[in-house]
Amino acid sequence: MPQPAIHPSILNADQAHLAAELERVRTADGLHVDIMDNHFVPNQFGGPSLVQAVLAHTSLPVDAHLMVTDADRWAPAYAEAGCAIVTSHLEATAAPFRLARQLRRLGAGVGFALRPATPLTAVEPLLTEIDLLLLMTVEPGFGGQSFLDPMLDKIAAARRLVGERGQELRIQIDGGVTEQTIVRAAEAGADVFVAGSAVYRADDAVAAIATLRERAAV
Ligand code: DX5
Ligand code: ZN
């Protein structure tokens, strides 16, 4: 398994001081930018212009997590904006094979995300087409929620599936990641960890990232 990667979510950052907030997490492995349309989830955040603003102030790779209805229509703009990976919810994508190939042509890596109650089997036919599988460990929409323990079995099943196929695919989890929950999620097989409040609510974000990375090295 590759080295664990920590991706702070800027949803939890002070939006009025974005450049300084990006500086605080400079030692992370990537940045996670949540996009919400007030339809797929009951909250609104972000857009391609936010991604452009973030990219102007960081050299970290950006992964966009699109919590939007009709991802087929909206996702390509995030590849064009310069995201390293564009992750769409499978529940909100009508033609995932077409979208995956379109994103790749635009030069972006491809991710698909599953809500907690969506079974892993839904994404199985797509595994050869993608770079990242995002398993939500909270109901998407808000930061600061508690990790859903029943997701540990799903993470383990995803790791088995990917291992059997000998794939490079990264398994990302998002929601409720703390110094405690990250250990169990890493043991189950996740290797990319989105951390919102665990990083941005810490006094020392660099130290919080280092601790999370250490705890995830299982
Ligand atoms: C929630 C978002 C997450 C959120 C995580 O729907 O997708 O990326 O920022 O926040 P924490 O780490 O606080 O659960
Ligand atoms: Zn997210």
Residues lining ligand 1, CB < 6 A? 9, 11-12, 32, 34, 65, 138, 140-145, 174-177, 194-198
pLDDT in tens, 9-54: 999 999 999 999 999 999 999 999 999 999 999 999 999 999 999 9
Residues 6+ apart with CB under 8 A from 61: 29, 30, 31, 84, 85
CB 211 within 8 A of CB 180: no
Q: Which domains does the chain have, with CATH numbers?
A: 5-216 (3.20.20.70)
User: Is 82 among the annotated ligand-binding positions?
Assistant: no
State pTM to two decimals: 0.98
The environment of the single-atom ion ligand 2, i.e. residues with CB closer than 5 A, is 34, 65, 174
What confidence tens digit (pLDDT) does each residue in 127-183 have?
Answer: 999 999 999 999 999 999 999 999 999 999 999 999 998 889 999 999 999 999 999
Please report the sign of the dihedral spanned by the C-alpha atoms of residue 205, residue 52, residue 66, residue 103: negative
Q: CA-to-CA distance for 164 and 88, rounded, in angstroms?
A: 24
